[in-house]
Amino acid sequence: MPHSRRRLLQWTASAIAAPSLPRFAFAQAFPSKPIRWIVPFPPGGPADILARLFGQWLSERLGQPSIIENRPGAGGNIGTEATVRSAPDGYTVMLVTTANAVNATLYEKLNYNFIRDIAPVAAFIRVPAVLEVTPSLPVNSVPEFIAYAKANPGKLTMASAGNGTIQHVAGELFKMMAGVDLVHVPYRGQAPALTDLIGGQVQVMFDSLPATIEQIRAGKVKVLAVTTASRVDALPGTPPISDFVPGYEASAWYGVGAPAGTPAEIVDRLNREINAAMADPKIKARLTDLGGTVLAGSPADFRKLVADETDKWAKVVRSAKLKAD
């Protein structure tokens, strides 16, 4: 009897453990081939830079190459849809940005639902924008700018990198909350918009800090405030807009997602490796150089960020009646 009882207990324990073995072994074997990073934007921009930075880190940590695949178009929707349609096996991930939260409402018909179809893996950084004006505009603070805009309704032009970009929606949020009338002028990218701001063809822009920091330091544009809820290290003397417009906050953020259905064990492993990267002094210094604040956390933390930002920008898009190009 003792021998039979021992065999019965061994068999029972094996039966209980067996279902978890294949998934555990699968996660332990991951990755066994290169990981494809889909970047829904052209090479050279912040999304591309971040994908290459973290892709290289994962290559070194996981022992497999990271292949960057730029799939620009339709405000990021082409690359996002390519990710959604990829196998949920951990070998395809995408660079997620604020655009994904905005596009959920900006585009009336998408072939996917971002929150449903993309599994959040990890957030990387939050990047502030700045409220800046052409040097000739006779204002030096947010209160002065608001007063000037209210005294000249519809006469100030607001540049952006295009409809639905963070520059655009940040400006629309400011218009709503400050009660000012600015005329939106969309450009095909940040560079031409900033060039015209410097030249005085447009008067105001809510530009990302990394794109404009050198022009600010050179005095080519006049910065009035940062768009984050608190001050940023790169511009310690510059106040946040929320000091004058309570509750205002607008910033770009970046992270990584995978097709829905990707095994939780693989998502968790990628999350751990990415958080390890953000704790590395060299990576952290690079992120600081890009003007960003680290956003380490769990997949659940990133899911909440995406959901909150999607709701936030949906209200702005609907209130301002924004449409995609």
Q: What is the 3-state secondary structure (H, E, C) of 295-314?
A: CCCCHHHHHHHHHHHHHHHH
DSSP labels, 3-68? HHHHHHHHHHHHHHHTTHHHHHHHHHH--SSPEEEEESS-TTSHHHHHHHHHHHHHHHHHSS-EEE
Longest pairwise C-alpha distance within the chain: 95
Q: What is the DSSP letter of 239?
A: P
Interatomic CA distance for residues 150 and 139, integer angstroms: 13
pTM, two decimal places: 0.85
- CATH architecture classification, 34-126+251-320: 3-Layer(aba) Sandwich (3.40)
* DSSP labels, 123-153: EEEEEEEEEEE-TTSS--SHHHHHHHHHHST
Angle value at C-alpha 69, between 66 and 70, nearest 5 degrees:
140
Q: Which structure tokens are listed for 194?
A: 């900033």
Tabulate helix, strand, coil % of the chain (nearest 5).
Answer: 50, 20, 30
Q: For residue 155, give the 3-state DSSP assignment.
A: coil
What CATH number labels 128-243?
3.40.190.10
**Per-domain boundaries in the chain:** 34-126+251-320, 128-243
Q: Among 86, 75, 79, 82, which residue's Cα sits nearest to residue 108?
A: 75
Tens digits of residue pLDDT in 19-45: 544 544 555 689 999 999 999 998 888
- The DSSP call for residue 165 is S
Segment 123-178, tens digit of pLDDT:
999 999 999 999 999 999 999 999 999 999 999 999 998 899 999 999 999 999 99
Span 235-266, pLDDT tens digits: 999 999 999 999 999 999 999 999 999 999 99
Q: Can you give the pLDDT at residue 286?
A: 87
CB 253 within 8 A of CB 126: yes
Whether 170 and 206 have beta carbons less than 8 Å apart is answered as yes
User: How many Å apart are CA 24 and CA 27, to the nearest integer?
Assistant: 5
Q: What is the mean pLDDT of residues 75-90?
A: 97
User: Same CATH fold, 128-243 and 34-126+251-320?
Assistant: yes
